[in-house]
Structure 1
């Protein structure tokens, strides 16, 4: 058994060190104590398989015993379990899995000012409202939804974001028709710096919500065009007709 003793061990930030594996601001304010760590080649099994525990640099990390308690490297264990793991330095919090409190976009599309064109953007501040505006035809609900109020809307991203996500859906009240036309069809085109990068599936009566995720890294300008075909046969053209029946739910920009 290997015994390791050192003074001024930062017990209050033990998990922080195991996760971040680097010095972090504010450690000096942590509780300072002397501790003895015991290494005894402790192994960890997951579903009958011994785990190969390593840090972010690929170096082996070994569990240890302190004051009768076995300590495991949080990041290595979380990754073995398939859980995302991160460190919130501001609140001194280890975040395991998807926590909505820490998994917020850098900006909502509707909060951005347009460069050209106009949009309509609705937010239910009191929670997700299961009404015809916030509900899709499959029963999904969205806290926010957006649609163009002009044929096209342009936003300046200025290389500030990495991803644009959202869900195009057919509202509950339009599930049998789009803008009053039984054969109506709707779709969105998205351009980055005048280059077409995304064409949505056709949204028509009976269509299910369509999620998208677009890489906007290095993009300075994003243009969103709504197209509509009220007959279902003559072809799409740029229009705002039908846009309110097929909004984009929770449109978000991420760093």
Structure 2
């Protein structure tokens, strides 16, 4: 279970601060929201011994013994810029990474990969819909694809790899899961999903990797908007 606190009225600019808050309690399958009560008091901020004062209405607060502060104010006080991507609900402090869809990367030994070159719309077991995605056991150009291996030349140009994995259909009781993904960097196994039962995020560090290989096995597995990170 993951917990995240955000401001409803300042979502585009600040993650924390203000007076009206919504509590998000999320699992990979569902989410709920509820109002929370917080203690808002004067908090002093110092950066390298110099006091910094946040803009009016952006003071921090205390919730269940933890102090939360306005992210933009703190980051900019440290000399970093903050970027909010509402589409992906992501906050970037400092430089914004460049994402390259897997469909746009040439695999070793071929101009295109017959699986990843043909993305489609995939609906997973929770009912969520994802564009630019793939389904093991689904049809991609030449027919239904199950077990598949593909390798890409990285030459240290990629910082990481990101995707979500999820079943594309509801599992029967007692099922061990659907499909799996393994990732190798320079022939060393660096990630093994095992059989997937719920939606999971994959975020792999590829710093310094020369080659990256993906090995996917089984059926009923959704590979959602996979991309390299530069």
TM-score by structure 2 length? 0.55
Contact between 1:84 and 1:96, CA under 8 Å: does it hold in 2? no
Q: List aligned pairs for 1:61-80, cutoff 5 A.
A: 61-63=51-53, 72=55, 80=69
Gaps of at least 5 residues in structure 1 are 1-45, 64-70, 88-93, 125-132, 229-241
Structure 2 residue aligned with 1:190, among 180, 183, 187? 183
Displacement of 1:202 in angstroms is 0.3
Contact between 1:108 and 1:250, CA under 8 Å: does it hold in 2? yes
Q: Which moved more, 1:141-150 or 1:106-115?
A: 141-150
Q: Which runs of 4+ in 1 moved over 2 A?
A: 82-87, 94-106, 116-124, 146-151, 182-185
Computing the radius of gyration from Cα coordinates, the structure with the larger value is 1
Map of 2:215 onto structure 1: 225
Map of 2:116 onto structure 1: 120
Contact between 2:181 and 2:217, CA under 8 Å: does it hold in 1? yes
Gaps of at least 5 residues in structure 2 are 1-38, 61-67, 137-144
Map of 2:153 onto structure 1: 156
d(CA) in 1 for partners of 2:159, 2:73: 19
Map of 2:167 onto structure 1: 170
Structure 2 residue aligned with 1:199, among 170, 192, 197? 192
Contact between 1:85 and 1:95, CA under 8 Å: does it hold in 2? no
3-state DSSP of counterpart to 1:219: coil
TM-score by structure 1 length? 0.50
The number of residues matched between the two structures is: 159
3-state DSSP of counterpart to 2:179: strand
Structure 2 residue aligned with 1:145, among 105, 113, 133? 133
Select the structure that is richer in strand.
2
Q: List aligned pairs for 1:209-248, cutoff 5 A.
A: 209-228=199-218, 242=219, 245-248=220-223
Displacement of 1:185 in angstroms is 4.1
Per-residue CA deviation, residues 157-191 of structure 1 (Å, 9 max, x unaligned), is 1111112111112224xx358xxxx9884211110
Map of 1:52 onto structure 2: 45
Structure 2 residue aligned with 1:134, among 113, 117, 122? 122
Contact between 1:51 and 1:80, CA under 8 Å: does it hold in 2? no
Map of 2:32 onto structure 1: none
Select the structure that is richer in helix.
1
Displacement of 1:227 in angstroms is 2.2
Pair 1:249–1:62, CA change in 2 (3 A): closer
Pair 1:219–1:146, CA change in 2 (3 A): farther
Contact between 1:83 and 1:97, CA under 8 Å: does it hold in 2? no
